[in-house]
Structure 1
Amino acid sequence: SLLAGLLVPGAIAFNLDVMGALRKEGEPGSLFVTGPSQNPGQANRTGGLFACPLSLEETDCYRVDIDRGADVQKESKENQWLGVSVRSQGPGGKIVTCAHRYEARQRVDQILETRDVIGRCFVLSQDLAIRDELDGGEWKFCEGRPQGHEQFGFCQQGTAAAFSPDSHYLLFGAPGTYNWKGTARVELCAQGSADLAHLDDGPYEAGGEKEQDPRLIPVPANSYLGFSIDSGKGLVRAEELSFVAGAPRANHKGAVVILRKDSASRLVPEVLLSGERLTSGFGYSLAVADLNSDGWTDLVVGAPYFFERQEELGGAVYVYMNQGGHWAGVSPLRLCGSLDSMFGISLAVLGDLNQDGFPDIAVGAPFDGDGKVFIYHGSSLGVVAKPSQVRGVAVGIKSFGYSLSGGLDVDGNHYPDLLVGSLADTAVLFRARPVLHVSHKVSILPPTIDLEQPNCAGGHLVCIDLRVCFSYSASPSSYSPVVALDYVLDGDTDRRLRGQVPRVTFLSRSPDDPKHQASGTVWLKHQRDQVCGDTMLQLQENVKDKLRAIVVTLSYSLQTPRLRRQAPGQGLPPVAPILNAHQPSTQRTEIHFLKQGCGEDKICQSNLQLVHARFCARVNLTLQGCGWETALFALSGQPVIGLELKVTNLPSNPAQPQADGDDAHEAQLLVTLPASLHYSGVRALDSAEKPLCLSNENASHVECELGNPMKRGAQVTFYLILSTSGITIETTELEVELQLATISEQELHPVSARARVFIELPLSITGVAIPQQLFFSGVVRGESAMRSERDVGSKVKYEVTVSNQGQSLNTLGSAFLNIMWPHEIANGKWLLYPMRVELEGGQGPGQRGLCSPRPNILYLDVDSRDRRRRELGRPEQQEPREQPEPSTSWWPVSSAEKKKNITLDCARGTANCVVFSCPLYSFDRAAVLHVWGRLWNSTFLEEYSAVKSLEVIVRANITVKSSIKNLLLRDASTVIPVMVYLDPVAVVAGGVPWWVILLAVLAGLLVLALLVLLMWKMGFFKRARYRYPEATVPQYHAVKIPREDRQQYKEEKTGTILRNNWGSPRREGPDAHPILAGDGHPELGSDGHPVPGTA
């Protein structure tokens, strides 16, 4: 069926007349043109063929009466879909239309009743009448053949039908034969009495007209061979007719078979092309045409069910370009539609739509929105992959493009037209507009501009005469309407497009034209006639750009004719011509200056070079380690930086100075800045070298004029001042693109100045301890005995202040203030006990932050005085030192006996720390961390009572947890020392501890032991012994001497005689010791007894 719709302007190919499209409507639900569901009268829904006159009326179509009555005992026309296919041979030729669901019946209302859906076709003459003597009224080749679906019971002849290009044969597709293998049939189509001599030519079938052998069909069952059909010469052999049939379900992919006549009854397969994807419906539609006009017919195959999920494609058309009759290895061009569009469900060869010498094709996509039709032009390389229209939007018509018919010139203007159908009971005819090929020429006098020779009427300006001429050609040569072309001349186009003032003014222009433009109209009465228009332009005074050519642009368009309203009953008005869309409608013409200062050859070959570009902290002060490598920027401490630039125009080879280095006309430096930098100004050490620099609105692009011209041997050094307000903590690199430009002859390439960026956060941290000296005293108590913080020891408070000299740190989010609190000494005893930690200012104005971990893990009671003071808002006061308890007792330790000092520091390993971490979410100026703690007296009494002084170190720092790798933190740590002493009051008042007494006792015993050892060494403990063992020891008897008798004995210096009661005196020496013998023993008498007076 041919079903159509109406498109908005610009929806179809450039030369299809959209505004004058003819719209024809049928009865609702009839699937109009050719109405396969139309009701003829006797049957409910049989379909029909309609003829529509070429008029502006939309409802003047009438039914062609070709299918009258129905013998219900032999046939059924209900839902036969008459008009499912319609083909025409062209003007004066025949027409074929089919009803593929026509039923042949036998033994109606009997037990053995049969119904065979064989289908049938009608061949009509040019007057839409049936002339039995030439072509017959009915074509039912499946009638009378074996029944059943495995043979011809579901033949469905006429699903596709066509005429051969020479109109000699009639082609039918019957996809239901042989268990839906399908078949193709070719029959002779007699045109007149001259063809009666060739009645033995055919018919031909793919399975054999006589053999009727399904094994001859080259596709498996359920392939639907014959669903589409066409023919053409030059497919396999030159000038030989071949037949093409589609099988959209062959092997679940689809296939196309090229057949040839082999005998009087057979169509033999020669080429089989298989589909690319499963269930793509390859072969659903097809068309043949010589798309590249090389003499070999090419093949176009539709696959409307093609699907590509990743690219969201739906429907495809494959274009096979014939390689001299060889199809093996041909890679087709695949054209795809949008998802679910059914792109390729209909194809039509349009003929040479734009008269460029190459046939064009149309592709329907009825479910792409409301439906679209794509026009593809042929070319010497085949089909142009880009359609000549981007999209087609139907107005009030659904499924637009479901069927297509083209290649016929309906209105007789020698251009083929296109008929588009739809499922909305509407068809639309688009007539092709004749295409005009315009020739144009612009003449200039004088050909070049000499500024030293003014030629205007005033005598001091330069003027230029312009002439523009037009002519046209069209196909056919007999087509020669009067054509009006509107043209516009635009002066100094390139400079104007750059936003600069044009250098010329048109003197001959209409009042509505701007100064730089001149417009006019030429009337071309016939093909090949040339008509010209003249004008003059004037060069402005004091032109700076003396090297770049003045570009004059000619643009023209076809004057749109006024649409005249047609009266009812009048014929169709002729369609207006249109300019060739593939031919440019503009022309650029350059007017050059006589060049000066460019050497003998008058060609300026400059040698602009960007010697260096480096970042600087300020003018003439280079940043540390910057140059082309690294630059260091603070987040807020450096509002601007400088970019030092040096440009020279020197000969590249001093030995050949004339080779280059000529004047650089309109020398410029184009600077493109990143988003983190903005142009602020320009500086130069020499004011004479300061260029003129201009930037755009957002200061991201800068143009610096280096001179016009920049003379040979010139050098210029200047500084671009750049604002760093756009640098953020995420900025890691600065890249400035630098491009030298000149209108002189020189190939210039962009250069990039790069600098690494380190963000120095403007944070500083300080700390103080209150008080800065602590004293320990008191009683040694265990941890379990602690109830209140006052039981621990002296109180100390630390204040750590973080200052921010820059902007608010809202973007950090992961900055932390950390304090390393020495809570233990190396052996694990308590050192400083943390009571409370508070951060003020890091969370926002008036807010206090929470730090981790939690202090006061022993849950000691807070001093009530501190709590009361905080509630009243009074400042905290230093706590007075506590007096020692009477129970304590130790001996004072002299200063000479104490160690000098000890430092307790976690960094040195003499203490163990707990780290309190406080997040700094946001603060503008300062944040203060308050930490309250207590000195653990017991540890100091046990471990450090003999130490002269102790230094306890508390450390604090700032850390940033961020993925940013270029952050720098200076002054981000601090050390807070506190001196700790033994309380001197406790030393004076205290007693002697037990261990001192113990040491004293041990020391006394040691001295006594040493004395005894010495006396023993001196012989003090030796006893007196007799010389001879046989000597008897004298016996003595103690006699008590009365007191009164003791004073009669007196001492003498030279020997005192002591009297005893025995009357014998004892001899003593002057030292009062007894006188001994020479061997040390007392003298003995003759009787062996000691001499009296000896010991």
Structure 2
Amino acid sequence: TGNLLITGLFAAGYNLDVDGPLQFRGPNGSLFGYTVLLHRAQQQTWLLVGAPVADSSFSRAAKKPGAVYKCSVTDGRHCEQLPFGRCGKTCYPEDDNQWMGVSLSRRPDGGDVACGHRWKNVFYSKQDNQNKLPHGVCYKFTPDLTQSRALTPCYRDHQRKFGEDYGSCQAGISNFQTKDLIIMGAPGTSYWTGSVLVYNTSSNVVAAYLDDDSTVQYGSYLGYAVSAGHFLHRESMEIVGGAPQHGQTGRVRVKLQLGSYYGASVCAIDLNSDGLSDLLVGAPMYSSVREEGRVHVYINQGNANLTEAKFVLVGRDSYAARFGETIANLGDIDNDGFPDVAVGAPQEDDLQGAIYIYNGRKNGITRTFSQRITGADLGSPLKMFGQSVSGLIDIDGNGYQDVAVGAFLSDSAVVLRTRPVVKVEAFMLLPDRVNRTIPQCRENGQPTVCVNVSVCFRVTGRPIGGRIEMRYNLTADAHHKEAFPLRFYFHGNGTSNITVGRVKTKHNELTCETHQAFMRKDVRDIFTPIYFEVTYELGEHSTARSSSRTLPALKPILQQRGENSNVVTNKTEFARYCAWENCSTNLQVRVKRSHPRQSYNNMPYFALGNGKTIMLNTTLVNAGDDAFLPMLHLRFPSNLHYIKVLDAVSGSLQSSENSPVIINNVSKTEAKQLCGESELTKKKKKWLKSSCYLTRFLSTDNYHFRRRNMLAATLLKKASRLSGWTAAWATCTSALTRR
């Protein structure tokens, strides 16, 4: 046990590592990082990066056609462009400014799709140089990225000169894949009403989803963003398309603020792990001041009944951040059974950009983000960080999916590795009762009442190799009454009720450490439970490095489960020897006056004069159950003055001029002389009235039970004079009252 206490248990971030990012740079001015996609095939991991205005390594004639780079993640940081196949017999591509790499997607089995939405087929118009329309093209790659096939869903051989419905559809501005479908947005269809095109990889058929009921207006850009999920039931597959210019408000299923670009990003994701897809919709140009951005949350109640949450995601609500420009499914990166998402705000902090991590929960999604990473957090400053985000691939083999982020104004892309998340079961073992009358330990050579406190940890969740250190603070009597001193302490001078400890444990191994807490000698509050509290964090993690690992292992982090999730409390209490649960006391007060007894005509009296003091001797007897914190009150008239308690047993004396109080504990059948002698005196120039009362009240702190004992002492003043003294006779009565 050391003497250094744990102070800051949580850092600002969560489990995306920002200390060792993997950074990639492309050609200057190529917009390298506009899109990113993590890819894994044949035990190799790659980062695909779209650079939509890059020069081609394969065609010097094309003017800035754009490119998709394949970057090695585990073997160096080199990147190379992917080649693209031919587009068909009646196809003569014009690649200039085609924006290849404007969108990237990955199929669950590893096949990738890259698109250029401004690509043109000029097979019929190359001679007259007219009607060159941006059909858009997508390339479907094999999992090993060595071969590709062109998809031109908007090109029609019979539509040679004029756009009609599909001539300028710009297919591929967005794309998304399921197991059998390639979904492409085509916002230029039907005079920019837009459409969603779906290519079935099994049947080799393209279907177009148009606005047949005319609910989407011209210029709505339907297909600007696309996604798909299980909305009707767990086996179905429904398609989602965003139309950010619909009515100048944007539309996915509801209308919102004018110009908010609602629907610029969509993400179908099962936030609560109930098997049905929920929906996140970005409105990056939402403005309360200027384009702060919003993300709207819709929870699926079944049968595609999407109920909007009562809150929206806002990040930090920063000026001109464009929060919601991109939304990415990251998978379950914090190992809590629910998927997590990243939301990009690429223009935050004067175009530096940021991403926000939100965690799925049983009721949907957390309202506040668990981590914020900015373009300035990763070494060299980045611009437009968060324009693109990709996840769902584990690049380093630690069992946690990692995250790629693009920053295209810096021609950069970054891979952030995910730290393992440790689930910890922490608890304390305490005795049920503390016997305060039997010392079980020795402290500084003296017998002392003590409590053995065992602090235990078990690490669960995904297996983690090596030994994990747990560091903790242990606090005794954590919730004691403020009016009373601490009742237990640890080693030292008896003033500290906090100790620190550390243990090393393994995955699924129960490890405990026992501490002794010592009871103080002057404990008075024996009725309030004794709470012990442990606050813990992860310490060092020691593991043997694998020779096959190309990236260093990351330090684990504790799973966040809400506020005070790393705090454990337990309680015990003092043994109470009571016949009834609430301890019924039977307290009696015996009071005796201790002043010279004189008599006149066989009547005792108290002579006022030189003998100015009245002495009261009090004895308290308890014939019932334990009495907790009994308080003995003495009240007297204003013409008497309280001096002091001459002889008191261990207890607390709280006195004022007119009402001294003595506090202590009285066990069953225990007699205590709480204040052996109380001394009072007559105030100067004040005579006793014909009678006066001295009253002692007794109360206890027992639950739902109070007892009050009262002694009434009457002092009678005699009118006659004896040898120059004024005499008074006194009688004493005792009354026992119960409240």
Shared fold, TM over 0.5? yes
**Structure-2 change in CA distance of 1:403 and 1:667 (3 Å):** farther
- 1:666–1:705 CA contact under 8 A, matched in 2: no
**Structure-2 change in CA distance of 1:600 and 1:340 (3 Å):** same
**Structure-2 change in CA distance of 1:286 and 1:685 (3 Å):** farther
Q: Would you say 1:36 and 2:52 are equivalent positions?
A: yes
Q: Would you say 1:708 and 2:655 are equivalent positions?
A: no
CA distance in 2, matches of 1:393, 1:495: 47
Residue 181 of structure 1: how far off its partner (Å):
0.8
Residue 241 of structure 1: how far off its partner (Å):
1.5
**Structure-2 change in CA distance of 1:666 and 1:461 (3 Å):** farther
Q: Secondary structure at the match of 1:251?
A: helix
Match of 1:175 in 2: 187
CA distance in 2, matches of 1:492, 1:455: 19
Letter in 2 for 1:471: R
Q: Given the alignment, which residue of 330, 339, 346 partners 1:359?
A: 339
Match of 1:417 in 2: 402
Match of 1:254 in 2: 250
CA distance in 2, matches of 1:28, 1:293: 42
Residue pairs, 1:1017-1032, within 5 angstroms: none
Match of 2:696 in 1: none
Letter in 2 for 1:222: G
Q: Given the alignment, which residue of 409, 424, 430 partners 1:438?
A: 424
Cα deviation code 1:54-77 (max 9, x no counterpart): 2485x5222223379999x94432
Match of 1:22 in 2: 22
Q: Would you say 1:382 and 2:364 are equivalent positions?
A: yes
Cα deviation code 1:144-168 (max 9, x no counterpart): 353545533322111011112xx11
Q: Secondary structure at the match of 2:293?
A: strand
Q: Given the alignment, which residue of 64, 77, 90 partners 1:45?
A: 64
Match of 1:1080 in 2: none
Percent of aligned positions that are identical: 28
Residue pairs, 1:806-955, within 5 angstroms: none
Q: Secondary structure at the match of 1:302?
A: strand
CA distance in 2, matches of 1:225, 1:69: 26
Q: Secondary structure at the match of 1:240?
A: coil
Match of 2:94 in 1: 76
**Structure-2 change in CA distance of 1:603 and 1:280 (3 Å):** farther
CA distance in 1, matches of 2:172, 2:630: 76
Residue pairs, 1:737-748, within 5 angstroms: 745=703
Q: Structure 1 length normalisation: TM-score?
A: 0.48
Q: Would you say 1:474 and 2:461 are equivalent positions?
A: yes
Structure with a larger share of its residues in helix: 1
CA distance in 2, matches of 1:663, 1:570: 64
Match of 1:187 in 2: 199
Match of 1:586 in 2: 567
Match of 2:503 in 1: 522
Q: Structure 2 length normalisation: TM-score?
A: 0.70
Q: Secondary structure at the match of 2:302?
A: coil
Residue 549 of structure 1: how far off its partner (Å):
3.6
- 2:70–2:79 CA contact under 8 A, matched in 1: yes
Q: Would you say 1:464 and 2:451 are equivalent positions?
A: yes
Letter in 2 for 1:113: Q
Cα deviation code 1:910-934 (max 9, x no counterpart): xxxxxxxxxxxxxxxxxxxxxxxxx
Match of 2:113 in 1: 96
CA distance in 1, matches of 2:19, 2:197: 42
Q: Secondary structure at the match of 2:569?
A: strand
Residue 574 of structure 1: how far off its partner (Å):
2.9
Residue 35 of structure 1: how far off its partner (Å):
1.0
Cα deviation code 1:195-215 (max 9, x no counterpart): 5xx44xx321114xxxxxx75
Residue 100 of structure 1: how far off its partner (Å):
0.9
- 1:313–1:336 CA contact under 8 A, matched in 2: no
Match of 1:1061 in 2: none
Match of 1:916 in 2: none
CA distance in 2, matches of 1:505, 1:52: 59
- 1:463–1:539 CA contact under 8 A, matched in 2: yes
Aligned residues: 585
Letter in 1 for 2:191: N
Structure with a larger share of its residues in strand: 2
CA distance in 1, matches of 2:187, 2:237: 22
Residue 221 of structure 1: how far off its partner (Å):
0.8
Match of 2:594 in 1: none
Q: Would you say 1:126 and 2:143 are equivalent positions?
A: yes
CA distance in 1, matches of 2:81, 2:423: 42
Q: Secondary structure at the match of 1:93?
A: coil
CA distance in 2, matches of 1:340, 1:83: 26
Letter in 1 for 2:370: S
Q: Secondary structure at the match of 1:116?
A: coil
Q: Secondary structure at the match of 1:17?
A: coil
Match of 2:239 in 1: 243
Match of 1:320 in 2: 298
Residue pairs, 1:595-610, within 5 angstroms: 595=576, 600-603=580-583
Residue 452 of structure 1: how far off its partner (Å):
2.1
Q: Secondary structure at the match of 1:178?
A: helix
CA distance in 2, matches of 1:319, 1:667: 63
Q: Given the alignment, which residue of 397, 405, 429 partners 2:390?
A: 405
Q: Would you say 1:116 and 2:133 are equivalent positions?
A: yes
Q: Over aligned residues, Cα RMSD in angstroms?
A: 4.3
CA distance in 2, matches of 1:185, 1:557: 51
CA distance in 2, matches of 1:67, 1:157: 18
CA distance in 2, matches of 1:105, 1:283: 32
- 2:527–2:574 CA contact under 8 A, matched in 1: yes
Cα deviation code 1:593-627 (max 9, x no counterpart): 2358x995355899xxxxxxxxxxxxxxxxxxxxx
Cα deviation code 1:684-723 (max 9, x no counterpart): 96466998599xxxxxxxxx99653599xx9xxxxxxxxx
Match of 1:62 in 2: 80
Residue 341 of structure 1: how far off its partner (Å):
1.5
CA distance in 2, matches of 1:62, 1:521: 49
Match of 1:901 in 2: none
Residue pairs, 1:337-348, within 5 angstroms: 337=315, 338=317, 339-348=319-328
- 2:467–2:541 CA contact under 8 A, matched in 1: no
Cα deviation code 1:276-307 (max 9, x no counterpart): 21111111110111212222221111111112
Q: Secondary structure at the match of 1:115?
A: coil
Match of 1:452 in 2: 437
Letter in 2 for 1:246: G
- 1:461–1:539 CA contact under 8 A, matched in 2: yes
Q: Given the alignment, which residue of 291, 294, 303 partners 2:271?
A: 291
Q: Would you say 1:227 and 2:224 are equivalent positions?
A: yes
CA distance in 2, matches of 1:70, 1:297: 37
Q: Given the alignment, which residue of 402, 413, 425 partners 1:427?
A: 413
CA distance in 2, matches of 1:173, 1:231: 12
Pick the structure with greater CA Rg. Answer: 1
Cα deviation code 1:748-787 (max 9, x no counterpart): xxxxxxxxxxxxxxxxxxxxxxxxxxxxxxxxxxxxxxxx
- 1:11–1:393 CA contact under 8 A, matched in 2: no
Unaligned runs of 5+ in 2: 1-9, 33-48, 587-622, 634-639, 646-651, 667-673, 675-698, 706-739
Match of 1:490 in 2: 475
Cα deviation code 1:536-568 (max 9, x no counterpart): 22223223443334332223222234899999x
Residue 433 of structure 1: how far off its partner (Å):
2.4
CA distance in 2, matches of 1:282, 1:302: 6
CA distance in 2, matches of 1:687, 1:30: 92
Letter in 2 for 1:380: K
**Structure-2 change in CA distance of 1:328 and 1:127 (3 Å):** closer
Match of 1:571 in 2: 550
- 1:553–1:586 CA contact under 8 A, matched in 2: yes
Match of 2:206 in 1: 203
